[in-house]
Amino acid sequence: MSLTDGAVRTAKRAELSAEFYSFPQKYVLGTDPDAKSLDKWRSTISSLVEISKDEDGDKPSVGQFTQQSMQPHIDHIRSYAALFAGESGLTMGDLGFVSDNPSSAEATKASHESLRVLAEKAQRTFGSCFLNVGYIAACLRDSFPYARRQFYLTEPVWRPAFKPDAAALSGIGDGAIKINQAIPGYFNADNLADLTGIDPSEMDPVDQVDDE
């Protein structure tokens, strides 16, 4: 929350600075104190401002203060985004800061590894909580104090934190084939669905051949 609050403050400063960035301050030196003052608004939006010489042939000098830059505010917001990405396990690209040299698909996937580990840890924590809720609900439903050891073998099944792509599916398939060669039947349609997040087909293999 402190990081998001700091980013909001920086955005507000950038919004205020944008007004001075759009209309930089100008100055005029050496004007006659008895001369008619310039219309500030008209001199700001006019494409041409005429300032005539005085009786002695002198003319005032016109200048402009250094224009403010928005880059420091952008860098400040980027630093908050980097801190937030480190805390949340996201990447700068996830937060909208696209790099000029984008990473490869493998590098992008590796950068989300900490987020996947965090999600799997949350699944284990939530699974234990769900089991406790189910235990209490069963006790209240049946008005019977069941022993907790009756639930210790129960394990919640979660879908993969990230949907596997074609490369991941190919790796899972190769690994399952090699393990099944060493231990026949170790992987089957029931536990492969937990790894891939894809339910097995309900069609009979004979029907699939007939369709082809």
Q: Are 150 and 139 a contacting pair, CB within 8 Å? A: no
Point out the least confidently predicted range of 27-31, 103-107, 119-123, 125-129.
103-107
CA distance 170 to 10: 46
| Residues in contact with 39: Cβ distance below 8 Å, sequence separation at least 6, in sequence order | none
Distance in Å from the first CA to the final CA of the chain: 57
- Give the chain's mean pLDDT: 79
Domain boundary among 161, 180, 199: 161
> Residues 41-89: pLDDT tens digits?
666 666 566 677 767 767 777 777 777 788 888 899 999 988 988 888 7
CA distance 171 to 167: 6
Q: Are residues 207 and 138 in the same domain?
A: no
CA distance 61 to 103: 53
Per-residue pLDDT, 142: 92
Per-residue pLDDT, 27: 76
Q: What percent of the chain has pLDDT over 90?
A: 8
Q: Which of 38-42, 139-143, 147-151 has the highest mean pLDDT?
A: 139-143
Per-residue pLDDT, 101: 66
Q: Are residues 82 and 123 in the same domain?
A: no
Domain boundary among 64, 84, 103: 103
Domain boundary among 34, 69, 103: 103
Question: Is the predicted pLDDT of residue 150 greater than 80, yes or no?
Answer: no
Number of domains, the chain: 3
Q: Are residues 154 and 176 in the same domain?
A: no
> Residues 156-199: pLDDT tens digits?
878 777 777 777 788 888 888 899 899 888 888 878 887 787 77
Domain that holds residue 58: 2-103
The pTM (predicted TM-score) of the whole model is 0.48
